[in-house]
Amino acid sequence: MIEPITLYSLNKLVRGAIAEAMPSSYWVTGELSEVRETTAGHCYIELIERDEKAATIVAKARGTIWARTYSLLRPYFLEQTGQRFAAGLKVLLKVTVEFHELYGYSLYVSDIEPAFTLGDMARRRQMIINRLSEEGVIDLNKELPFPTLPQRVAVISSSFAAGYGDFCDQLMNNPYGFVFYPHLFAAPMQGDKVESGIIAALDRIARNVDSWDVVVIIRGGGATSDLSCFDTYNLANNCAQFPLPIITGIGHQRDDTVLDAVAHTRVKTPTAAAELLIHTVAREAALLDTLGSGIVEAVRQRISEQNTRLQGIVQRLPIAAALFLQKQHHRLDLWQQQAEAASPQRILSLGYSLTTCDGRVVRSVGDLRSGQRIVTQLADGKIISTVDNDN
Amino acid sequence: MNKNVTYNEAVGRLEEIMNHIQGGGVDIDKLTEELSEAQELIAFCRSRLFKVDEDVKRILDSLSDAL
């Protein structure tokens, strides 16, 4: 004899059985396939589990996080992971299992372990990085030479974001007065359009690649926004192979995104990106100053060398002149001695004499006739005589 | 000075001039010549750092407008 019970009674039995069989709470892992927040502040989720290989869903459950719990879990999760509590994430939740006569099987979430989500995100990032490494592209952008003067700056950012404004302010009001030419290539910086938006902006820049020195991808915000959009293979692959060096400053404090991992240089904030560019130009300006003063110094050195050389000549000149004069003196002395040795006065003093007649030197007796007056010159005077004989 | 010289070329030439003068390879009569070339190069380099190049500005503006 059939004794039917109402569905309500049946469900009540199930509810009782489950409550009795599963009184405690469980830490359960799964993927959020749906997250819906109500105006009252409650959160309804759908949790699934996929078969890793076949990628088919093998388990599914609805869940509820009451407003009182969710108001604490939501900011905690965001702070810890840098991620909004949203569909697509792998999560570890503390749940109790309940069955309601009308709504059926459901999980009530009382706690969450963000470290699990972080671990899963890191694992996914690592998988992308490994793939880029295997394909040999991971370091391509890093290997590009950084421009000497990164002044023509193609900026990829959201046109509304404060980050771009901060970046331009910092750059254009740099204390040195360096010139920069920043230009915006607008792209969404959050949500699922990030990948396609940035790739499209890169394509626009690549069309006139020689017109730019460097690409800067920035957004303001800090650690409170969703970063998983920067962790995609396509975006990383495009950036890694881009022909200009890419600087990222996407405003977060936690571990690198995949985009950061392939960028030429990563900094934390848009202002830090601006500082990097200013610093690079400042280093070049300092080098130029050093060169300029080095050249002036070298010229001074050369002039001073020549001056020393001249001074040396000036100092040595009188000595050389004195030496020369002394030598000439010596020669003159010698000549004088020789001349003196040959002088008539000396010969006369030796006892020789010189005889003249009518002013002419008498060289032969034949020159004289008797009666002529002759003058004989001795060393100390003259004798006047008359010739007595003829020869 | 060649109008088409790049910044890096100009700095390279400046280094050359410095080494040349330092090495004593420059005739004293040519010093003025080298020095005035250096001054010209430094002025060019500094203008790249500090002066808005209207040509560059115009080209980049036109690229942005084409977005």
State the CATH number of the domain containing residue A159: 3.40.50.261
How far is residue B12's CA from residue A331's CA, in Å, rounded to a whole number? Answer: 62
Task: State the angle between helix axes of B31-50 and B7-22 in degrees (0 to 180), rounded to the nearest 10.
Answer: 150
Residue B33 lies in a domain: yes
Q: Which residue of B has its CA nearest to A205?
A: B63
Write down which residue in A77, A112, A147 finishes a domain.
Answer: A112
Cβ neighbours of B5 in A, within 8 Å:
none
User: Residue B43: helix, strand or coil by DSSP?
Assistant: helix
DSSP A66-126: -HHHHHHHHHHHHHHHSS-S-TT-EEEEEEEEEEETTTEEEEEEEEE-HHHHHHHHHHHHH
Are B26 and A185 an interchain contact pair (Cβ–Cβ within 8 Å)?
A: no
Are B57 and A181 an interchain contact pair (Cβ–Cβ within 8 Å)?
A: yes
* Pairwise pLDDT comparison (B1 vs A332), residue with the higher score: A332
Note down the domain range covering B31. 7-65
Are A298 and B21 an interchain contact pair (Cβ–Cβ within 8 Å)?
A: yes
pLDDT over 80 (residue A154): yes
Residue A296 lies in a domain: no
pLDDT band for B62, please (50, 70, 90 cuts): confident
pLDDT given at position A223:
43
pLDDT given at position A391:
67
Same domain, A353 and A274: no
pTM over cut 0.90: no
Q: Which residue of B has its CA nearest to A299?
A: B21
Q: State mean pLDDT over A66-78.
A: 94
The top-scoring range by mean pLDDT among A47-61, A110-124, A273-287, B10-24 is: A273-287
pLDDT over 80 (residue A205): yes
Amino acid making up residue A132: L
pLDDT given at position A346:
82
B interface with A, Cβ–Cβ < 8 A, is 7-8, 11, 14-15, 17-18, 21-22, 24, 26, 28, 31, 34-35, 38, 42, 45-46, 48-53, 56-57, 59-61, 63-64, 67
pLDDT, tens digit (0-9, with 9 covering 90-100), for A340-354: 888 888 888 888 888
How far is residue A35's CA from residue A107's CA, in Å, rounded to a whole number? Answer: 14
**C-alpha angle with apex A328: A325 to A330, nearest 5 degrees?**
110
Instruction: Say if residue A212 is exposed, middle or buried (CB neighbours under 10 Å; 0-12, 13-18, 19+).
Output: buried
Helices (H), A144-269: 162-172, 194-206, 233-240, 258-262
Residue B1 lies in a domain: no
B51, B36, B49, B52: which is closest to B1 by C-alpha?
B36
How far is residue A15's CA from residue A21's CA, in Å, rounded to a whole number? Answer: 10
Which CATH number covers residue A39?
Answer: 2.40.50.140
Residue A226 lies in a domain: yes
Number of A/B CB contacts below 8 angstroms equals 79
pLDDT, tens digit (0-9, with 9 covering 90-100), for A271-298: 999 999 999 999 999 999 999 998 888 8
Residue B50 lies in a domain: yes
How far is residue A25's CA from residue A97's CA, in Å, rounded to a whole number? Answer: 7
pLDDT given at position A255:
57
Residue B2 lies in a domain: no
Q: Which residues contact residue A234 at a Cβ distance below 8 angstroms, ignoring those fewer than 6 apart? A: A195, A199
Q: Which residues contact residue A371 at a Cβ distance below 8 angstroms, ignoring those fewer than 6 apart? A: A386, A387
**Secondary structure (H, E, C), A261-278:** HHCCEECCCHHHHHHHHH
Portion of chain A with pLDDT greater than 90, in percent: 59
Same domain, A173 and A96: no
Note down the domain range covering A375. 345-386
Contact present, A256 and A266 (Cβ < 8 Å) = yes
Count of structural domains, chain A: 3
Same domain, A246 and A160: yes
How far is residue A143's CA from residue A141's CA, in Å, rounded to a whole number? Answer: 5
pLDDT, tens digit (0-9, with 9 covering 90-100), for A301-315: 888 888 898 898 888
pLDDT over 80 (residue A52): no
Write down which residue in A264, A283, A302 finishes a domain.
Answer: A283
Compute CA A7 distance to the chain's CA centroid, rounded to the nearest angstrom. Answer: 74
Q: Which of B32, B45, B47 to mutate to test the interface with A (most CBs of A within 10 A)?
A: B45
pLDDT over 60 (residue A135): yes
Min distance A251 CA to chain B CA atoms (Å):
25
Min distance B4 CA to chain A CA atoms (Å):
16
Are A299 and B35 an interchain contact pair (Cβ–Cβ within 8 Å)?
A: yes
Contact present, B34 and B17 (Cβ < 8 Å) = yes
pLDDT band for A182, please (50, 70, 90 cuts): very high
Are B64 and A184 an interchain contact pair (Cβ–Cβ within 8 Å)?
A: yes
Same domain, A95 and A195: no
Q: Which residues contact residue A330 at a Cβ distance below 8 angstroms, ignoring those fewer than 6 apart? A: none
Residue B61 lies in a domain: yes
Q: State mean pLDDT over B24-47.
A: 86
Q: State mean pLDDT over A262-273.
A: 92
pLDDT given at position A134:
95
Residue A329 lies in a domain: no
Bridge-based pairing of strands A43-50 and A26-37 is antiparallel
Same domain, A210 and A69: no
Same domain, A158 and A268: yes
Count of structural domains, chain B: 1
Q: Which residue of A has its CA nearest to B41?
A: A292
Same domain, A174 and A107: no
pLDDT given at position B61:
81
Same domain, A273 and A240: yes
pLDDT given at position B67:
47
Compute CA A331 distance to the chain's CA centroid, rounded to the nearest angstrom. Answer: 76
Are A305 and B24 an interchain contact pair (Cβ–Cβ within 8 Å)?
A: yes
Residue B31 lies in a domain: yes
Average pLDDT of chain B is: 84
pLDDT, tens digit (0-9, with 9 covering 90-100), for A219-228: 876 544 567 7
Average pLDDT of chain A is: 90
Residue A197 lies in a domain: yes
pLDDT given at position A221:
64
CA atoms within 13 A on the CB side of B57: 7
In this complex, which of B26, B50, B67 lies closest to A302 when CB atoms are compared?
B26
A309 touches B at CB < 8 Å: no
pLDDT, tens digit (0-9, with 9 covering 90-100), for A345-383: 888 888 888 889 888 888 888 888 888 899 998 888 889
Residue B26 lies in a domain: yes
The span from the first CA to the last CA of chain B, in angstroms, equals: 37
Q: Which of A295, A297, A300, A306 to mutate to test the interface with B (most CBs of B within 10 A)?
A: A295
pLDDT over 70 (residue A247): yes
pLDDT over 70 (residue A60): yes
Cβ neighbours of B31 in A, within 8 Å:
299, 302-303
